[in-house]
Amino acid sequence: MCGIIGYIGSQEAVPLLIEGLKRLEYRGYDSAGIAVQNAIGMEIRKCAGKIARLEELVSERPPCGTIGIAHTRWATHGAPTTQNAHPHVDAGRTIALVHNGIIENSDVLRRQLREIGCEFRTETDTEVMAHLIAATFEGNLEQAVAAALTQIVGTYGLAVVSSRDPGKIVVAKRGAPLLLGLSENDEKAMFVASDVAAVLGHTRKVVYLDDGELAVLRADGYALMDIGSLDPSEPTRFIEREISHIAWDLDRIERGGYPHFMLKEIFEQPVAICDAMRGRVLEEEGTARLGGLYHLSEELNSAQRIIFTACGTSWHAALVGEYLLEEYARIPVEVEYASEFRYRNPVIPANTVVVAISQSGETADTLAALREAKRNGATTLGIVNVVGSSIARETDGGVYAHSGPEIGVASTKAFTGQLTVLALFTLMLARRRGMSILEGREVVAALRELPEKVERVLEAQEQIDQIAEAYSSHRNFLYLGRGAHFPIALEGALKLKEISYIHAEGYPAAEMKHGPIALIDEDMPVVVLAPDDSVYAKVISNVEEVKARGGKIIAVVNEGDRELSAKVDHVISVPRTIEMLQPILTAVPLQLLAYAIAVKRGCSVDQPRNLAKSVTVE
């Protein structure tokens, strides 16, 4: 995720900013930049790629000055290029700003700003903020920032400097974290950062901003205020905030206090799902708006077949997509392992849309499959997490998952992000192919409730931990599910295999009797996905078959379930939602179960043996 660090004090800013950026590297980024405000005005250095590259740039022509802001960018709008890297400036280069978050109405603002003569140099949503602040500037930076923010829809943590109102950094927060670092000694200095890791080398005294707050930082202190009260017609409402003392070490802070990135990422899912939906759901029309597919409306309307191609966890997401699209949009779907697709001679008739799903956007097999599909004349789409990645660049269109960087090798939040995007894609196509507006609105309402329901699933962590205790020394696991929960069973088994090195297999529940049933005895735990859906009764019969052979059953059911719960050894309850979205909720406890078992077995959770986060070789 993007990172912010800013400094105002008596020392040269650049070395402190570079050090802060390095502390933020663990969050993942694809470009970085610095702005220093000094007697010349504003000096900016930025580049795509690593901070080491930025250091080179800075050392070629070092910007001098004691006030500066810096940023690591993880692209969400616009490719990870030098041009798109922060800081962004207004036309006169008198205002520079760094921003975390997403400005949802940037397209509208961009159009309005163009009408008054603004020229845009980047593809980012952030650049509109620089122009907006310049347009509202009347001599006082904090008032201009506050006025500009009244026009913004979306989320932000931002830091702004201006040569027209020098000697201060103005920062503001809504929906993206931001904190102030206070000097520990007598030195007159202040820091601002998006993450405490960035300031920890200098201070353990921090003040956290809340949403709707703005702070003005000067070398000798800061003033915290309510953004809304900066209107000149009102008295400014200043805020007193307690100083927090950070006791954790750096290593722990980088993981947000979690023992592993994987657990952190599992717990980030409510936010990641929100981000995947942000600005894409249309309540009134009961549908989804996917900007990266606008120009392909005709191809999508005339599509007679969709082929998904992917690897690993993304392939499981594709299987869920198959169930969703066929059920709700009534389009025939095929799912192919990318590694197979690329070497077959696939039949790709006219009006076929090939969709590559990939967290990294760089998986070699998926990329090759995509190229093969293009050669065969298909329209190609990508459902990708990493903006500007190869798959994102080479497809005709696509939808970003916006899950944020995933560091743990075993994919978690990127998977549920992919499922969320697939639900939006299904909704959009289904509404064009017969789904009524009322049904569409039901889907929208259920999507809105989803993040809070994922929060509720996460509350089961302690209970899942106890279940893990009982089974961590078993050597085999079976995962069963039906319908769209069959791919979730596959994903649950994969998670366990990847990080705990226990052999696990996923099966469609009814298929068990055609083979795997021979394996069942009291040493074979069976994880059964049994939400209260159209195949619930069938799953109960499958559970009976396991029980009759002494198998131990861990069931994932809906809250309030009685019938199945009475028959099994362990029950994990998840909230009820519509069938289209239920797989997102049943996937989460399986991630927690795999995690807890791996920890109990002392495995290297974030970097399992033999696995790589992004497989860029064949």
2 is catalytic: yes
Q: Does 614 bind ligand G6P (CB under 6 A)?
A: yes
Number of neighbours of residue 156 by Cβ within 10 angstroms: 23
Q: Does 358 bind ligand G6P (CB under 6 A)?
A: yes
Q: What is d(CA 370, CA 381) in angstroms, rounded to the nearest whole number?
A: 9
Q: Compute the least distance from the CB of residue 405 to ligand G6P, in Å.
A: 12
Q: Does 517 bind ligand G6P (CB under 6 A)?
A: no
Number of neighbours of residue 375 by Cβ within 10 angstroms: 9
Q: Does 76 bind ligand G6P (CB under 6 A)?
A: no
Q: Compute the least distance from the CB of residue 266 to ligand G6P, in Å.
A: 14
Q: What is d(CA 227, CA 214) in angstroms, rounded to the nearest whole number?
A: 5
Q: What is d(CA 108, CA 412) in angstroms, rounded to the nearest whole number?
A: 34
Q: How many residues bind ligand G6P (CB under 6 A)?
A: 17
Q: What is d(CA 459, CA 48) in angstroms, rounded to the nearest whole number?
A: 40
**Options 437-445, 565-573, 590-598, 607-615: segment touching ligand G6P (CB under 6 A):** 607-615
64 is catalytic: no
Q: Does 229 bind ligand G6P (CB under 6 A)?
A: no
Q: Does 309 bind ligand G6P (CB under 6 A)?
A: no
Binding residue for ligand G6P, selected from 81, 106, 126, 360, defined by CB under 6 A: 360
Q: Which of 37, 412 has the CB closer to ligand G6P?
A: 412
Q: Does 359 bind ligand G6P (CB under 6 A)?
A: yes
Choosing from 2, 47, 274, 311, the catalytic residue is: 2
How far are the Cα atoms of 278, 357, 457, 613 from residue 3, in angstroms, in the given order?
Answer: 20, 27, 29, 22
Is 478 strand, coil or helix?
Answer: strand
Binding residue for ligand G6P, selected from 35, 182, 409, 496, defined by CB under 6 A: 409
Nearest of 414, 149, 472, 51 to residue 266 by alpha carbon: 414
Q: Compute the least distance from the CB of residue 24 to ligand G6P, in Å.
A: 23
Q: What is d(CA 433, CA 428) in angstroms, rounded to the nearest whole number?
A: 9
**Options 108-116, 342-350, 405-413, 454-462: segment touching ligand G6P (CB under 6 A):** 405-413
How far are the Cα atoms of 437, 451, 549, 584 from residue 578, in angstroms, in the given order?
Answer: 16, 14, 33, 11
CA angle in degrees (0–180, nearest 5) for 278-281-283? 135
Q: Does 615 bind ligand G6P (CB under 6 A)?
A: yes
Q: Does 366 bind ligand G6P (CB under 6 A)?
A: yes
Q: Does 312 bind ligand G6P (CB under 6 A)?
A: yes
Q: Compute the least distance from the CB of residue 411 to ligand G6P, in Å.
A: 4
Cβ proximity of 217 and 168 under 8 Å: yes
Q: Does 411 bind ligand G6P (CB under 6 A)?
A: yes
Peptide bond into 508 cis (omega under 30): no
Question: Could you tell me whether strands 31-38 and 552-558 are parallel, antiparallel, or unpaired per DSSP bridges?
Answer: unpaired
Is 11 strand, coil or helix?
Answer: coil
**Options 83-91, 220-228, 407-415, 569-577: segment touching ligand G6P (CB under 6 A):** 407-415
Q: Which of 50, 613 has the CB closer to ligand G6P?
A: 613
Binding residue for ligand G6P, selected from 37, 84, 122, 313, defined by CB under 6 A: 313
Choosing from 50, 188, 538, 613, the catalytic residue is: 613
Q: Does 500 bind ligand G6P (CB under 6 A)?
A: no
The torsion angles phi and psi of 24, rounded to 5 degrees, stand at -95, -5
Contacts with ligand G6P, residue ranges (CB under 6 A)? 311-314, 358-360, 363, 366, 409-411, 611-615
Q: Looking at the annotation, which residues are catalytic?
A: 2, 613
